[in-house]
Every structure is written in structure tokens, then in C-alpha cells.
Amino acid sequence: MSSRFSTKAVHAGEERRKPYGALTTPIVQTSTYTFQDSAEIMDFMLRKSAGEELSRVDYGRYGNPTQSAVERKMASLEGGERALLFSSGMCAITTTLGALLSCGDHLVLVRDAYHRTRDFALNFLARWGIETTLVSIDDPTSLADAIRPATQVIFSETPTNPYLKVMDLSQMVEAATAHSITTIVDSTFATPVNLRPLNYGVDLVIHSASKYLGGHNDLLAGVVVGPGRLLAQIEEGRSVLGGVAGPHDAYLLLRGLKSLELRVRQQNESAQRLAQFLDGHQAIQRVYYPGLLSHPQYDLACAQMAGFGGVVSFEVDGDMDRTSRFVDLLNIPYIGPTLGGVESIVQQPATLFSLDPEERQAAGLKDNLVRYAVGIEDPEDLIADLDQALDGIRV
């Protein structure tokens, strides 16, 4: 098969000839798989105990043909040996960390990670005797200094949410390799279209597949991609904890992946145009986007990423109420907490995070910050909508 991304996005991981002559991989809606006779059960168990790769399972918590097609496709798109599908991105993260860390171990986590990832590390892992150190993503010295003899995992996002900071993956891998530490990157904002962390030597890449991979805001799923030796450990954790994705979500994800490159390239281009428009607007204090020269890690982003993503964050010139008024004046984007779909979605992070100003300040969220997740609408329409909303708050 061609090695080009869009061709793999459409065809990789799926059988050429599907059941009943169907064009699309079917939804296999079953929780239990039956056997023809006792001899087939014995053969299955013997091969399973020998560690052979099996073409079937016996129960839905261990796998599903629709799910398996997604896993093969994601492994191909990320360039990994294997992939595992989960019921959500957070389930992928928590199961992975739970599988790789034990009591007494130490985790290094970037401070700008998704707040639920931080919550899990600081509140849940701590109960199990696993300590976490938070480090600055843009300070390689703090990352190296945080490593201890007990450090087993370094976990980063890139770009981060909502300030779109970029991790230097080569430096991260170099620091980890010197101490035989497993590296994990949440690449949800980048997607495999813009960045493939495994190519830099990262061990595992994680996505919230609910976002760009699905692309239509109609499913929940998460995925982990990496080498078979690590995926086997994580798969055992998934089998015990039960965070398997359902066949319907797997089917929707298969559909979304086929148009991934088309959507993301459009979102890259539109977001760049929106960022440039906002960067020169008098009603905007600051814009955060890796594709702008003003971004402190612009050179790193150019060297490491094929595109800069579909999220633009910016600070409105005003207080919390004025910023909320701006968001309410927008006509095209929906107001909500997610990103990566075909519809543009906007949020004022401070309003969704906490009603307590001190908690917002501690989390580094400014009251006038806006996160705009660009969809696939015409960028001229999105810019005109931004312009009229910014004009509206001048009154």
C-alpha cells in the first residue's frame, strides 16, 4: 500500500473484502463470541496461553472486530507497532499510567497538562504511593532536574491546552533515554497529520479520539499507540479495568479517520488566518498560536510540526465580563468545552474551570482568555464574525 497519509487514513487496518461485500467495516454488535465446539475452545486457549496473536476473542471486554480495525489504522497513521482503543481519552491516560507505574515510583508531568490529567496524577496516583513532579514545558533544565532514581515515566502534551506551548521532543527523549525512562506524549492537539511523536523516539502517543480523530463531535474514545512490549502491559490493564470502546463509537471513529487529513489541513490554514487577523487587532491584547512569529517557540514549532493546529487562544482587551460579552456576540462558533470537530467551538476557559478567582489564578487561567477551536467553515466568514463581535464590545 502507498505510504502517503490520506491513502492510509482511508484504507489501512481494514480488510479489503469485508463481510457481505460491504464497503465499510461493519459494526459487530456483540458482547460474547461463541465457539463451534469444545475442540475450538481448546485450540483457542492453547494458542492464547502460548502468547500467539489471535484473530478472535471470547468476550467483548477483550476486543471487537470494529475496534480492531481502528487500532490497526491508528498504528499505521502514527507509525507504531500496535494501538489500543479506549472508551475515552482520559481512560487511555489513566489506564496507561496505572499499568506502567507502581507504589514508590515517580512521575514527571508537564505543568500545562490537561487539568484532569493533573488531577489524576496529584490526587489519585498519590493515594497509591506514586509521587508526581510538575515541570515547565518550556524549561529543559527543570525537566532534567526533576528526574530521580524512582522516575519511571515522563508525560507531556504538545501543543498544550490552552496556551499552545510546544515540548521539545528531542530534548525530552534525550533526558529520558539517559535514565531508561518511558516517555508519553498526549498529541491530541497536534494529530498525526501535524506531528508523529514516535518518530522522535517517544515511547507512547495518546489521543483523545473524541476530538480531531473522530472529527464530528459525536463519539467518545481514546487511543494509545506504541511498541508491542508496552501495549501488552496496557492491554492487560484495559482487560481488567474494562475501559474498552464500544463498536458504535469505533465505527464512527473509522469514518472520521478517513477524512482526517482533509479536515486538519483546512483547520491549520483557517487557524493561521484567524491568528494573524487577531494578532493585529486593537481589541486583542495577545494571541497564542505556534504559527505566529510572536510565539516564543515559533522556531521549535516550525522544525517539529507539519502544521500548527486548529486552536487559537487569545486575550481580549478587557475584564471577564467584557470577554464574556465578546463570546456571546459570536454567531458562528458554538460555546462549549471541546474541540477538533467540523463545527467551530469557542470557550472562555475561566468560566468553565472555576467560579473561584483564586483557583483560576492558581491554574494560570486569565479571565480574559478565549480559546477558539476552528472548524471547517470558510475562514472569511469566521474572520468577519470575529470582527463584528470585537466591534460590538467597543460600545
Distances in Å between the Cα of 98 and the Cα atoms of 107, 222, 235, 269 are 11, 15, 11, 38
pLDDT tens digits, 236-290: 999 999 999 999 999 999 999 999 999 999 999 999 999 999 998 999 999 999 9
3-class DSSP state of 104: coil
Q: Tell me how far CA of residue 60 lies from CA of 72, 98, 252, in angstroms.
A: 18, 22, 18
Kindly indicate the confidence band of residue 136, based on its pLDDT and cuts at 50, 70 and 90: very high
- Distances from the Cα of 346 to the Cα of 39, 230, 340, 383, angstroms: 57, 37, 11, 13
The pLDDT, as a whole number, for residue 99 is 97
If one looks up domain 5-28+64-258 in CATH, what number appears? 3.40.640.10
353 has pLDDT over 80? no
- What confidence tens digit (pLDDT) does each residue in 294-348 have? 999 999 999 999 999 999 999 999 999 999 999 999 999 999 999 999 999 999 9
List, in sequence order, every beta strand (DSSP E) within the chain: 82-86, 106-110, 131-135, 151-157, 182-186, 204-208, 222-226, 284-288, 311-316, 334-335, 345-347, 369-373
Distance from C-alpha of 392 to C-alpha of 395, rounded to nearest angstrom: 6
Phi, psi dihedrals of residue 107, rounded to the nearest 5°: -115, 135
For residue 384, the model assigns a pLDDT of 98
**Domain ranges (residues) in the chain:** 5-28+64-258, 260-392
List Cβ neighbours of 180 (8 Å cut-off, separation of 6 or more).
Answer: none
- For residues 226 and 187, what is the distance between their CA atoms, to the nearest angstrom? 13
The pLDDT tens digits for 3-57 are 799 999 999 999 999 988 899 999 999 999 999 999 999 999 998 888 777 778 8
pLDDT in tens, 68-112: 999 999 999 999 999 999 999 999 999 999 999 999 999 999 999
pLDDT number for residue 395: 65
Question: Over the chain, what is the mean pLDDT?
Answer: 95
Q: Is the pLDDT of residue 188 over 80?
A: yes
pLDDT score of 357: 79
Distance CA 318, CA 341 (A): 29
Which CATH number is 260-392's, of 3.40.47.10, 3.90.1150.10, 3.40.50.1100, 3.40.190.100? 3.90.1150.10
pLDDT at 255: 97
pLDDT score of 221 more than 90: yes
